[in-house]
A and B are shown apart, each in its own frame.
Chain A
Amino acid sequence: MNQKMFIIISAVLFFVACKKDYQAPVPDLEWDLFNSSAASKLSDSIRQKIEGVYNIEEGQAGFGVASALKWSYTITGTDTSYFLSFFCAQDVSYIICEGKRLDSSILLNGYWRKMINTETGKVQLTISAENGAAAILSGRAITSLDTIKITGFYGFGNGVPGFPLQLRHVRPINKAKPFEIIAHRGGGRSSDLLPASENSAELIRLASKFGATGIEIDVRLTSDGVPVLFHDATLNERVIQKNGLLGPIENYTYAQLNTLVRLTNGERIPTLREALNAALFNTPLHYVWLDTKFKGSIQQVRDMQKEFLQKSDAMGRGLNISIGIPDEGVRDNFLLLKDYAITPAVCELSLQDVAVTHAGIWAPRWTLGLQNDEVNDIHAQGKKAFVWTLDTPENIEQYISKGNFDGMLSNYPSVVAYYYYAQQ
């Protein structure tokens, strides 16, 4: 009897142990004080005064010693929502808050997330009148004599925030040299449990909250020639919900994919047009890297690039869109474009290929090293150099502090944002 019980318990433990709960849902962000009718939106000038590099005085165990705070926004129809992102180096963590004014205080309500694991939770913060809100709300410029201190609590999951968090403003964020923070796959990988799936229009709308100023998206063609976003060579459960459809995305028509396939978080596979619409009309992003993952003519993608660049110019939006040249096959197809010499492109190949394709951006892989001499040569030609794909904080710090690159591709744009904006 005992032996049978032992076998049954062992079997149950074996199966239970194998079922690991692996998710990081965004917590419920209800905060009565923040949602009260007395709380009002912050103006542009007030928001700008809160940005900066802050020392973390309490909560270092969770978020490290410092954080760079920067606003971003999302446009939905005629409504614009603003978000204050806290970029932290420790454990690839970030905080995303909305801000409101309540009497003479400023309230910040949001959530935090660590990308190295599934930890997340609520954050409820305040800038009281005596901690700097009076100066911020006064309408005058903030000086070095003003003290801005953000205080409050963070919690775990949907639990009530109970762990103290306190930050003190120390200096403005670095904007000395323009630097493109490019989020991989439209904002990050599905495997990192972001609130939206990789290469989805929904994730593109979130990318700037994670620190991105630009995005890299993967373009493939369906069997009926519709450019869509999809990273992997085949449909698989890493990126889509299981549905019995397997094999290369190029085997299916757009209508089939649109009806039957849903990405990990339930989104449709977006067309390139939908993705560019999201980037242009819903975000402050100003760079899109179209990673060409298909063989054959690039003309259709070139036409769409031209159309959206014209729309951007008409809006005064300043969105740059480059066609990626990742290999020799794509290079040869790129050179078949009649206007390739004036087509904005990002070339991952040699400096000679950059010259042949007239690409405005050279993008070597990071494993080739800093290559400062080559980057300086590119700068001398009036071109830019972006490096891909760096995810380790130590490497990101090294390439920002010692390299001459003009941009960096990463799955963790919040870490790039921290090291760039916190740089002195």
Chain B
Amino acid sequence: MRNNKFISRFFLYCVLIQLPAVAKSQEEFTSMPTGRGQYALVSYVGGGLGMYAADAGTPQHLQTKLDKIKANFSMRIMWHPDHLLRFGLETGYMTFYSYTLTDSAGQRGKAALRAVPMLVEWSMALTRRFNIFAGSGIYLLTTDLNYITKTKSHKVSVGWMAAASYILPVSKNMGLGMELKYMDAAETSDGSIAFQLQWVWKFTKW
């Protein structure tokens, strides 16, 4: 919980104070195609906070304390061709939610549901700085249970994501952005709204 507060304060500091200053200094990176026949690979690395948007379904017969706001991290690589529509892959690591529990005998425990998304994505630049993303694929879900004994259990779920980002240029090939995204593991009805700070790097061009 303290960790989450620190992350949220750092996040606000970056968004409100540092980003506009950086944006004023240089303005070269653009999300739009740079010219006919020009291609690039662009990486997006982001981290922030996600809020679990679905019903966590914690056991009603137990005393539980639910934590729905969790840190998350994502990384994607997109191919930027010479037209607006792009294609790429995304992965990352997120915790949908966790809860602590106390059973009738006073025994305490903790359960967390974590996920590694592996998604195929499409995106489009609506303006020089504003982009939308949508993707589908799988979520490698892990239940991390510590009650009486430690247990890790895995399941694969189909899923999807949708996101919108605003990228401010830092240099010709780099930008810093903010992204609002919804990530959904469809088979298990787990969904999270995430707000991330993003570093964008056009690392290859041809």
**Residues of chain A at the chain B interface (Cβ within 8 Å):** 223, 234-237, 241-248, 251-253, 255-256, 259-260, 262
**Residues of chain B at the chain A interface (Cβ within 8 Å):** 55-59, 61-62, 96-97, 99, 101, 103, 111-113, 141-143, 145, 147-149, 151-155, 187-189
B58's partner among A244, A248, A252 (CB-CB below 8 A) is A244
What A residues does B59 contact at CB under 8 A?
241, 243, 259-260, 262
What B residues does A245 contact at CB under 8 A?
111, 143, 145, 153
Report yes or no: B189 in contact with A252, Cβ–Cβ below 8 A: no
What B residues does A251 contact at CB under 8 A?
151-153
Report yes or no: A244 in contact with B112, Cβ–Cβ below 8 A: yes
Contacts between the two chains (Cβ within 8 Å), count:
73
Q: List 19 A–B pairs whose Cβ atoms lie within 8 Å, in order of A's numbering.
A: A241-B59, A242-B55, A243-B111, A244-B113, A245-B143, A245-B145, A246-B141, A247-B153, A247-B155, A248-B153, A251-B152, A252-B145, A252-B151, A253-B148, A255-B148, A259-B62, A259-B103, A259-B147, A260-B59
B105 to chain A, nearest CB (A): 9
A253's partner among B56, B103, B149, B154 (CB-CB below 8 A) is B149
Report yes or no: A260 in contact with B189, Cβ–Cβ below 8 A: no
Known A-B contacts A256-B145, A262-B59; A244 and B151 likewise in contact (beta carbons under 8 Å): no
What A residues does B99 contact at CB under 8 A?
244
- Decide if the interface of chain A is mainly helix, strand, loop or mixed: loop
Report yes or no: B154 in contact with A241, Cβ–Cβ below 8 A: no
A253 to B187: give the CA distance in the assembly, Å: 24
B149's closest neighbor in chain A, by CB?
A253
A242 to B189: give the CA distance in the assembly, Å: 9
What A residues does B149 contact at CB under 8 A?
253, 256
Known A-B contacts A255-B148, A259-B147, A260-B147; A246 and B57 likewise in contact (beta carbons under 8 Å): no
Residue from A223, A244, A251, A253 with most neighbouring chain B CB atoms (10 Å): A244
A242 to B154: give the CA distance in the assembly, Å: 15
Report yes or no: B151 in contact with A246, Cβ–Cβ below 8 A: no
Residue from A237, A245, A246, A255 with most neighbouring chain B CB atoms (10 Å): A246
A101 to chain B, nearest CB (A): 41
Report yes or no: B153 in contact with A237, Cβ–Cβ below 8 A: no
A245's closest neighbor in chain B, by CB?
B143
A258 to chain B, nearest CB (A): 10
A259 to B110: give the CA distance in the assembly, Å: 12
Q: Which 6 pairs show the lowest CB-CB distances between chains A and B?
A: A242-B57, A247-B153, A251-B153, A246-B155, A244-B113, A246-B143
B106 to chain A, nearest CB (A): 12
A12 to B97: give the CA distance in the assembly, Å: 28
What B residues does A241 contact at CB under 8 A?
57, 59
What B residues does A244 contact at CB under 8 A?
56-58, 96-97, 99, 111-113, 143
A266 to chain B, nearest CB (A): 8
A313 to chain B, nearest CB (A): 38
What A residues does B154 contact at CB under 8 A?
246-247
A251 to B152: give the CA distance in the assembly, Å: 8
